[in-house]
Amino acid sequence: MSRENVAIVRRAIDAFASAGTSAPIQGLVAEDVEWRPAFEVAGGTTYVGREGSERFMKEWTEDFDDWTLETEDLLDAGEAVVARLRQTARGKGSGASVELRFGAVFRLRDARIARIELYMTVAEALEAVGLRE
């Protein structure tokens, strides 16, 4: 099941990276999927379901041009998958280039992503599943 979980997460990230808010993620995420962004990013807001997912993805990317998301590594953590991610973009208003490396924990249920937890660092994501770098 763990290898299957990694494949599901890879497909979901690749879909989001290529299509953004219109990503075809049906069948990869649970209907009641929860997004839990890092507190520093979203002020502790949790987004729920397809509608919440679309709202989160829009809010996450709307201030940027040339936005890209790259998977640097996926780690099987049993019932979860830890992702090492890299985001690059250019600010719409400022034109400034930005780069962010961060971690995410994908928790699966019945072969679908049920919860996505975003962390400012990969170390925090690993710690969330009881692992260390």
Is 117 domain-assigned? yes
Asked whether 7 and 86 are in contact (CB, 8 A), the reply is: no
Q: Rounded to whole angstroms, how far apart are CA atoms 107 and 75? A: 12
- Give domain status of residue 133, yes or no: no
22 in a domain, yes or no? yes
- With respect to residue 40, please indicate whether it lies within any of the assigned structural domains: yes
**Helix (H/G/I), strand (E/B), else coil: 118:** strand
Q: Is residue 49 part of a domain?
A: yes
Q: Assign 23 a pLDDT band (cuts: 50, 70, 90).
A: low
Maximum mean pLDDT: which of 1-5, 62-66, 92-96:
92-96
User: Is 56 a member of any domain?
Assistant: yes
Determine, yes or no, domain membership for 95.
yes
**Which CATH number belongs to the domain containing residue 30 in this structure?**
3.10.450.50
Tokens of 45: 């807001």
- Whether 66 is in a domain gets the answer yes
**Is the separation of the CB atoms in 82 and 122 below 8 Å?**
yes
In 3D, which of 46, 54, 49 has the Cα closest to residue 30?
49
Q: Is the pTM of this model over 0.85?
A: yes
The count of domains in the chain is 1
Show the domain range for 74: 2-128
Predicted confidence at residue 42, as pLDDT, reads 55
Residue 98: pLDDT over 70? yes
- Asked whether the predicted pLDDT for residue 33 surpasses 70, the reply is yes
